Structure 1
Amino acid sequence: MINDVVLEGIVVREPWKFMEDLFFRMAVFRDTDLPAKPLDADRDAADYINIRICGGASGLITMRRGMRLRIHGFFQSRDYKENLAEIVEKAQKRSGVEISVDVKDMKPEQVAIERNSVEVVARRLIVLDKNAERKEKPESVST
């Protein structure tokens, strides 16, 4: 079986660390020969995927929003549980709006859902464009 992925896209959110690993979110636009994901009459929408760099939280790799990258890696999925209190807390942080939830006869911490996350684990990362102002040779990093 083959699990080999090559993606090229733009970092759209500041990276975050979890344990030893570095994560970031990347916008990837589809090739013209693939089915479109329409955004509006003039443009196609991006697909968004989380990228994981195992051991990348050591500080040797620096990611920033707007960087254009090529990632060589593989797909990985993880199952986890998340309770309603955690979901509401994340929604409040992202939206900046206070949210209250009333669950009959239960606390929000007792209401949980099983979730699944799919990410690409990077084995090789090539920086194609660090930012729009500076044009430099592509830089390659193997993980």
Structure 2
Amino acid sequence: MTGLAGDRPDIAGAITFFYYDDHEAAVRWYREVLGFEPYFEQDWLVLLRIAPGHSLGLVDAVNGSQRPVPGLNKGATLSIETDQLAEWHSRLKAAGSAGLDDDFQPGCRGRTTEFRVRDPGGYFVEFFRWVDPPV
């Protein structure tokens, strides 16, 4: 495997996929509460642009290649970097979002300030800003 790092092909973007028993509730929450706009929609799949080069795919429980993970530990978190933590926290609080942290928490062993909320399928969505950004 030596020498592979410099030979890496280009990447145009990345999509994270989350899987839902109630697909419509998830789509509605990401559109209405977070304000993410879809750029591709089918009855079983919606792709939302989060930031340039990064998207979130919301997939229903029966048509995707995976299935929703039962319980509260989904094994995945959507982490969103922002300098507007207070504004995001206020927006989510006003929307009555489930599982919203009451206040900001230290994260990444003190390297970030963050809070988390749960989406309608139980996935954590974490909003954070760096205390000391990596170089």
TM-score grouping bracket, smaller chain normalisation: under 0.3
Q: Which has the higher contact order (CA 8 A, sep 6+)?
A: 1
TM-score for the superposition, normalised by structure 1: 0.22
Which has the larger Rg?
1
TM-score for the superposition, normalised by structure 2: 0.23
Tell me which protein shows more helix as a share of its residues: 2
